[in-house]
Amino acid sequence: MAARGEPAAIGPVVAAGNGLRHQHLAIAGMAAALAVAPLVLYPVFLMKVLCFALFACAFNLLIGYVGLLSFGHAAFFGTAAYAAGHAAKVWGFPPELAVLFATACSALLGLVFGWLAIRRQGIYFAMITLALAQMLYFFYLQAPFTGGEDGIQAIPRGRLLGVLDLSHDLVMYWVVLAVFLAGFLLIYRTIHSPFGQVLKAIRENEPRAVSLGYEVDRYKLLAFVLSAALSGLAGGTKAIVFRLASLTDVHWTMSGEVVLMALVGGLGTVFGPIVGAAVIVSLQNYLAGLGHWVTIVQGLIFVACVLAFRRGIVGELGRLLGKPL
Amino acid sequence: MRRFLVPAGAALLAVAAHPALADFTGGKVRIGVLNDQSSLYADITGQGSVVAARMAVEDFGGKVKGVPIEVTFADHQNKPDVGSNIARQWYDTDGVDVIVDVPTSSVALAINEVTREKNKVFLVSGAATSDLTGSKCSPNTVHWTYDTWALANGTGSAIVQTGGDSWFFLTSDYAFGHALERDTEAVVLKAGGKVLGKVRHPLNNPDFSSFLLQAQASKAKIIGLANAGGDTINSIKQAAEFGIVAGGQNLAGLLVFITDVHGLGLQTAQGLILTESFYWDLNDSTRAWSKRFSERMNGRVPTMVHAGVYAAVTHYLKALDALGADGDGKAVVAKMKELPTDDPLFGKGTIRKDGRKLHPVYLFEVKKPAESKGPWDYYKLKATIPADKAFRPLAEGNCPLAQ
């Protein structure tokens, strides 16, 4: 347990009230930069970054603010991808309903996983989530509707609300950006709400939160479901963007990747997961020529990150500026 | 938001107007070879396909209508998501006009969709699933070398005719394995045989023991291997360790490449019946081309996939030369279908409405070690299936383009 008054190793304690002004400015700046980014960069690449950034932010909500390390988040991401793909392709759902349906599926799954997993702490919690996610992986491998190794292919992007034609990459991009910002702001609001304060209290000292009269399990479960649902939002959106849901999305390496993204960017920081996702996705994209060596490069980065700057890129930056980011 | 939409719209217009500016997009023809560069299909396809594509470009003179031709390549790691990401990026930002090869049917089906969406050209050599010219057929795709129907029709019916009438399938669990199993099962049932059971194994599987034990327990005369590459090699080797062939059951490799025979060695592979559409030692022109290929590939002979890449790229360039443009993928493929094909490896042939390239297919038997006269001298020709009998009839494929 961390000693009282000392900032926890996992992330800087966020100051309340007016101390957040620089964060609001940073969010506005980020939104503006992202809105014009596709005019310079390849929009499909940016959409991938945004989907993974939302996924990493959802994961960070759990590890960074409740201190729960889930090693099965790919289950929520992948389930949503399959749900969105199946709904849009087979049932003919419009994209917005497909993604909402996918988010609901992941939230429900999060409720089941969370209900089982929050009974244990630390490594046991991580292992339970991993075990459940692996069970689900083998289910998806065999279930006929997922298409096994082929995945669900040629998922229609369709028209948003019957109006916006998503087959244009730029239109799709701004929709993805809106989804990302909505998810991100929801997380931001959550961690700065009284609910978020209780989550942080649980992270810092769980027995103490219990002694103060909080029903810790309820808070943990709610945070878990929220994280699962937002991971699902990211996964469902990704399936619509790439028109493909495959086993890669539910494989345990995906759970590992999201841990890596959060860690490289900075656990328990607001912007860390976004930066982490951008770094990891760029690496995968630009080093794709190395084939299987990409995973080794990622491993080396992970080691370097843990050894040299444990707060992650954004965490270290925040420390240098003296402000939580 | 409007502030951003205006430049975006302008950018879109500029992109849309681009093909009209020049007949050849980007001022050059870019060929993207997308295949497995590092895993179980790397020997069958891999760098060999890149070399074959480069040879086709060189033999064509390096230019079409004065426009330079480039060859680029990438590794799709046998994953549909990796493959379709690369394809999207190639088409959207890297100026690739045509994607060639693409083994692993699941990836090929994904590329088939991306290519259709972007109206480019997809020349399939490495992938096997007959769905590419069946229910998933596309006006932007030509399927060159072989397919699961041709394999089933060749190997499957040859084995049933020689008394192998009860089957058990060991199937690779993805699009290719499913299609091969389905097409072979149809051939077996039609010829009066029966299927006693089937089991599916994951792609790139190192351990076949539990699957082989099920096959052994089924007492089927023939164990049909509906898998490919490293998986076929492993299942044949492990079947030998289990004494399956010694116990009286026979293995039928439904897709065996010459590199697999090389990997197994003649001692293990002798007597295997297999279907291919190309063999290096078929005639003078295949020998001459294969010799040039070997010199660049450290003595390895080409597989039928490499030959298909060469022939498909050659015919694609001929169509570009006739058309004088490469921007409209549908028009290029239509031109490819209109022109008769003629190349040193597959001879004269045609491309059907559904995108199926027609040429003869050969039934080979792997030689005994004593019969082999030199390196890579592995096959005896048993039968030639003429082009009009070798592939699924047009009407049976359910391809919307065929109607």
What's the total number of domains in chain B? 2
- Let me know if residue A85 belongs to a domain: yes
Sequence-separated (6 or more) residues with CB below 8 Å from residue A210: A216
The pLDDT confidence band at residue B8, using thresholds 50, 70 and 90, is low
pLDDT at A291: 64
Same domain, B217 and B229: yes
- Let me know if residue B325 belongs to a domain: yes
Q: Kindly state whether A168 is in contact with chain B, defined as any CB-CB distance less than 8 angstroms.
A: yes
Q: Kindly state whether A246 is in contact with chain B, defined as any CB-CB distance less than 8 angstroms.
A: yes
Q: Which residues of B touch A249 (CB under 8 A)?
A: 81
- Let me know if residue B403 belongs to a domain: no
Q: How far apart are CA A174 and CA A61, in angstroms?
A: 24
pLDDT at A10: 45
Q: What angle do CA A273, A274, A280 make, to 5 degrees?
A: 85
pTM value is 0.84
Phi, psi of B331 (to 5 degrees): -65, -40
Interface probe, candidates B6, B45, B77, B81, chain A, greatest A C-beta count within 10 A: B81
**Do B364 and B279 contact (CB within 8 A), yes or no?**
yes
- Let me know if residue B353 belongs to a domain: yes
The 3-state secondary structure of B340-395, one letter per residue: CEEECCCEEEEECCCCEEECCEEEEEECCHHHCCCCCCCEEEEEEECHHHHCCCHH
**Do B47 and B305 contact (CB within 8 A), yes or no?**
no
Same domain, B249 and B379: yes
Torsion region of A77: left, alpha or beta (phi above 0 gives left; psi -120 to 50 gives alpha): alpha
Interface probe, candidates B50, B76, B106, chain A, greatest A C-beta count within 10 A: B106
More confident site: A76 or B246:
A76
pLDDT at B22: 53
Q: How far apart are CA B211 and CA B217, in angstroms?
A: 10
pLDDT at A122: 86
Same domain, B100 and B137: yes
Can you tell me which residue has the tokens 């390390």?
Answer: A69
- Let me know if residue A264 belongs to a domain: no
pLDDT at B268: 87
Query: Which residues pair with residue B178 across a beta bridge?
Result: none
The nearest alpha carbon in chain B to A291 belongs to B75
- Let me know if residue A102 belongs to a domain: yes
pLDDT at B17: 44
Interface probe, candidates B15, B84, B117, chain A, greatest A C-beta count within 10 A: B84
Note the maximum CA span of chain B.
Answer: 77
**Do B263 and B233 contact (CB within 8 A), yes or no?**
yes
Domain that holds residue A156: 41-251
Same domain, B137 and B20: yes
| C-alpha of A145 from chain center | 25
CA proximity to A151, closest of A21, A264, A239, A22: A239
CATH label of the domain that carries residue B40: 3.40.50.2300
Give the rounded percent of residues in chain B with a pLDDT score beyond 70: 95
Same domain, B380 and B248: yes
- Let me know if residue B210 belongs to a domain: yes
pLDDT at B359: 95
Same domain, B306 and B174: no
Interface probe, candidates A150, A243, A248, chain B, greatest B C-beta count within 10 A: A150
pLDDT at B125: 96
Q: How far apart are CA A224 and CA A218, in angstroms?
A: 10
What's the residue count for chain A? 325
The pLDDT confidence band at residue B21, using thresholds 50, 70 and 90, is very low
Q: How far apart are CA B315 and CA B335, in angstroms?
A: 10
Sign of CA dihedral A58, A64, A65, A71: positive
More confident site: B129 or A3:
B129
Same domain, B51 and B178: no
Same domain, B353 and B365: no
- Let me know if residue A244 belongs to a domain: yes
Domain that holds residue B374: 149-276+361-390
pLDDT at A325: 79
Q: Between chains, do A288 and B174 touch, taking CB under 8 Å as contact?
A: no
- Let me know if residue B7 belongs to a domain: no
Q: How far apart are CA A107 and CA A230, in angstroms?
A: 8
3-state secondary structure of B98: strand
Q: Kindly state whether B93 is in contact with chain A, defined as any CB-CB distance less than 8 angstroms.
A: yes
The pLDDT confidence band at residue B52, using thresholds 50, 70 and 90, is very high
Crossing angle for the helix pair A73-89 and A95-117, to the nearest 10 degrees = 150
DSSP 8-state assignment for residue B31: E
Q: For the residues B333-347, what does the mean pLDDT come to?
A: 94
pLDDT at A19: 67
- Let me know if residue A5 belongs to a domain: no
CB neighbour class for B321 (10 Å; exposed up to 12, middle 13-18, buried from 19): middle
- Which of B38, B77, B80 lies closest to A151 in CB terms? B80
Determine the distance in angstroms separating the CA of A150 from the nearest CA of chain B, rounded to an integer. Answer: 5
Same domain, B238 and B383: yes
Same domain, B209 and B117: no
Per DSSP, chain B holds a count of helices (H) and strands (E) of 15, 16
Per-residue pLDDT of chain A (325 residues; tens, 9 = 90+): 344 444 444 444 444 445 688 889 999 999 999 999 998 888 999 999 999 999 999 999 999 999 999 999 999 999 999 999 999 999 999 999 999 999 999 999 999 999 999 988 889 999 999 999 999 999 998 888 888 778 898 888 888 888 888 888 899 999 999 999 999 999 999 999 999 999 999 999 999 999 999 999 999 999 999 999 999 999 999 999 999 999 989 999 899 999 999 999 998 899 999 999 999 998 888 877 676 677 788 888 888 888 888 888 898 888 888 888 7
- Let me know if residue A34 belongs to a domain: no
Same domain, B184 and B225: yes
Q: Between chains, do B12 and A168 touch, taking CB under 8 Å as contact?
A: yes
- Let me know if residue B395 belongs to a domain: no
- Which of A42, A149, A153 lies closest to B92 in CB terms? A42
Q: Between chains, do B174 and A242 touch, taking CB under 8 Å as contact?
A: no
- Which of B110, B173, B203 lies closest to A244 in CB terms? B110
Mean pLDDT over the full length of chain B:
89
Determine the distance in angstroms separating the CA of A140 from the nearest CA of chain B, rounded to an integer. Answer: 13
pLDDT at B20: 36
pLDDT at A162: 81
A3-17, B133-147, B254-268: which has the minimum mean pLDDT? A3-17
Phi, psi of B334 (to 5 degrees): -60, -40
What's the total number of domains in chain A? 1
Q: What is the pLDDT of residues B93-106, one digit of tens each?
A: 999 999 999 999 99
Evaluate if residue B9 carries a pLDDT over 70.
no
- Let me know if residue A54 belongs to a domain: yes
Evaluate if residue B157 carries a pLDDT over 90.
no
DSSP 8-state assignment for residue A16: P
- Let me know if residue B291 belongs to a domain: yes
Same domain, B197 and B297: no
- Let me know if residue A274 belongs to a domain: no
- Let me know if residue B397 belongs to a domain: no
The nearest alpha carbon in chain B to A249 belongs to B81
Chain B neighbours among A 147-166 (CB < 8 Å)?
148-151, 153-154
